[in-house]
Amino acid sequence: MTATEGFEATLEVDLAAITANWRGLCARHGASVAGVVKADAYGLGAGPVARALAEAGCRHFFVAQFAEGMALREALGAGPMIAVLGGFPPGADAGAGLTPVLNGPTDIAAWQAAGAPGAGTILHLDTGMERLGLSPVERAALPPGALDGLGLRYVMTHLACADEPGHELNALQPRRFAEAAAAFPGIPRSLANSAGIFHGAAMASDLARPGCALYGLNPTPGQTNPMRQVLRLTVPVLQVRQVAAGTPVGYGATWVAKRDSRIATIAAGYADGYLRALSSRGIGIVAGRPVPLVGRVSMDLITLDVTDAPDIRPGDRVEMIGPAQTPDEVAALAGTIGYEVMTSLGARYRRQYRPA
């Protein structure tokens, strides 16, 4: 308990919803399912999230960066696989108990130069993303034996368009992956991200790698979200003021009251990752009802028109993201995707975990 508790924006994270989402994905995929906890588990806190998933039985984790992997190993202890999607940086510690994803000839050479079997590796085969992963041309150009002794635990590829079910790459990529992986008999395969799991058998593999669906984003865009909501951001009211019709509010005076209005100022802003693009577009939820964000989002403050929520007082909390207004819905208002809304969730929010 800190002296300012009650006047901080609070991010409630429902770990039970995350583990329920993971179990649901396991049932749907019918094979092993990892937890992708890169970018601090999409803003929710990699340590608590990964510990809850491990407790639920998750044995495979993915992060983006080597440093994220080291911190996660510390949080999880020995046991689960922690794979690093970003590869094996030259000079990194091959004995750190991490499993680098080797994304091309440079990673392969760096891993072999490190000379340690470590916790094995994953080989990334590109099948159409053209971002990371060994291309067919690079694979053909490797000298004989270049892929020996890597301690391969999986071969993997990554889907470019899984959230667009009709896209032709969804038919091409699994086929290309099956062809490329045939050169590695007996090595388990890893294919689907969250959306890929919902494509069914064509994208099944030995290990799926969902991130967003664990955290309640919709892996089936355009259809009803099958995942449970996980987070709730509530922001305390600092002040409520009366403004007369014709009065401008906030930086740039971009919003002008059309009627006598009550304005609530709440304690979060773009420095907390509440996107400035939500200026005069965002919505707050007060006692279950929407109130409009008016004027610009400031660095540390947001103003809301609460004329129609007359009971609101300083110290009350406004829900800015949550079950009544999901990260996907906030993203649509801001012209972005739920992933960006979540990974922007600020460091100043007090994170409160509901146990699994």
Ligand X SMILES: *Cc1c(COP(=O)(O)O)cnc(C)c1O
- Rounded to a whole number of angstroms, the minimum distance from the CB of residue 211 to ligand X is 3
- Secondary structure, 3-state, the chain: CCCCCCCCCEEEEEHHHHHHHHHHHHHHHCCEECEECHHHHHCCCHHHHHHHHHHHCCCEEEECCHHHHHHHHHHHCCCCEEEECCCCCCCCCCCCCCEEEECCHHHHHHHHHHCCCCCCEEEEECCCCCCCCECHHHHHHCCCCCCCCCCEEEEECCCCCCCCCCCCHHHHHHHHHHHHHCCCCCCCEECCCHHHHCCCHHHCCCEECCCHHHHCCCCCCCCCCCCCCCEEEEEEEEEEEEECCCCEECHHHCEECCCCEEEEEECCCHHHCCCHHHCCCCEEEECCEEEEECCCCCCCCEEEECCCCCCCCCCCEEEEEECCECHHHHHHHHCCCHHHHHHCCCCCCEEEEECC
Pick the closer one to ligand X by CB: 206 or 300: 206
Contacts (CB under 6 A) with ligand X, residues 140-179 = 158
Among 35, 211, 216, 273, which residue sits at the site for ligand X (rule: CB under 6 A)?
Answer: 211
Active-site annotation holder among 38, 42, 215, 349? 38
Pick the closer one to ligand X by CB: 194 or 298: 194
209: contact with ligand X by CB under 6 A: yes
- Rounded to a whole number of angstroms, the minimum distance from the CB of residue 343 to ligand X is 10
Task: Give the position of tokens 């930086």.
Answer: 251
Alpha-carbon distance 347 to 268, whole Å?
11
Size of the site for ligand X (CB under 6 A): 11
Q: Is 251 part of the annotated catalytic residue set?
A: yes
Alpha-carbon distance 291 to 303, whole Å?
10
Contact region for ligand X (CB under 6 A) — 114-122, 208-216, 235-243, 325-333? Answer: 208-216
Among 121, 193, 325, 326, which residue sits at the site for ligand X (rule: CB under 6 A)?
Answer: 193
Contact region for ligand X (CB under 6 A) — 17-25, 206-214, 249-257, 315-323? Answer: 206-214
Is 342 annotated as a binding-site member?
A: no
Among 19, 127, 194, 303, which residue sits at the site for ligand X (rule: CB under 6 A)?
Answer: 194
Q: Is 154 part of the annotated catalytic residue set?
A: no
CA angle 89, 90, 96 (to 5 degrees): 65
Among 69, 210, 327, 338, which residue sits at the site for ligand X (rule: CB under 6 A)?
Answer: 210
Is 299 annotated as a binding-site member?
A: yes
122: contact with ligand X by CB under 6 A: no
- Rounded to a whole number of angstroms, the minimum distance from the CB of residue 208 to ligand X is 9
36: contact with ligand X by CB under 6 A: yes
Burial of 3 (0-12, 13-18, 19+ CB in 10 A): exposed
Contact region for ligand X (CB under 6 A) — 22-30, 203-211, 258-266, 308-316? Answer: 203-211
Contacts (CB under 6 A) with ligand X, residues 84-103 = 85
Pick the closer one to ligand X by CB: 209 or 296: 209
Q: In sequence order, what are the beta bridge partners of 81?
A: 60
Active-site annotation holder among 42, 251, 270, 349? 251
Closest residue (Cβ) to ligand X? 211
Among 25, 44, 212, 331, which residue sits at the site for ligand X (rule: CB under 6 A)?
Answer: 212
Contact region for ligand X (CB under 6 A) — 175-183, 204-212, 250-258, 274-282? Answer: 204-212
Pick the closer one to ligand X by CB: 85 or 321: 85
Which residue positions form the known binding site for substrate?
131, 299
Residues that bind ligand X (CB under 6 A): 36, 38, 85, 158, 193-194, 209-213
- Catalytic residue numbers read 38, 251
